[in-house]
């Protein structure tokens, strides 16, 4: 009846996974320029056990237009970044700048 259970040892050891400050600055810089152009309106940050996701929305209550994910599998030294448009993977690289460069190639709304 007097069994002592140590809670920290029974909890699942989860390594928290986030974007670094520098990576988040790059993402928010791109986001701010597109907000100023009137293309994007909202973003969301999600964190899972093995993934961090930055999602971009045109309107708050819609599905994300684009999502940038950061994952790191065991045995990899560098994380992998991927850009998704819905379910379609547009680009995957170990460099966030390579992934964000795709936005320069995408067609943009031209207003007169």
Residues 32-78 have pLDDT tens digits of 999 998 889 999 999 987 899 999 999 888 899 999 999 988 778 88
Check: pTM over 0.75? Answer yes or no.
yes
- Domain positions in the chain are 15-104
Rg value, the chain, Cα: 18
14 has pLDDT over 60: no
Question: Which residues, 6+ apart, have CB-to-CB distance to 14 below 8 Å?
Answer: 49
Distance CA 38, CA 109 (A): 9
Distance CA 15, CA 74 (A): 12
The per-residue pLDDT for 3 is 78
How does residue 105 score in pLDDT terms, banded at 50, 70 and 90? confident
The per-residue pLDDT for 110 is 65
pLDDT above 90 covers a percentage of the chain that reads 58
Cα 18 to chain center, whole Å? 9
């Amino acid at each position: 009846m007097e069994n002592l259970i140590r809670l920290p040892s029974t909890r699942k050891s989860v390594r928290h996974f986030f974007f670094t400050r520098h990576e988040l600055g790059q993402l928010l810089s791109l986001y701010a320029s597109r907000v100023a152009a009137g293309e994007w309106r909202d973003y969301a940050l999600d964190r899972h056990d093995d993934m961090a996701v930055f999602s971009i929305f045109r309107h708050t209550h819609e599905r994300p237009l684009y999502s940038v994910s950061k994952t790191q599998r065991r045995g990899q030294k560098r994380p992998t970044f991927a850009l998704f448009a819905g379910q379609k993977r547009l680009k995957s690289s170990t460099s966030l700048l390579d992934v964000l460069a795709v936005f320069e190639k995408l067609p943009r709304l031209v207003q007169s």
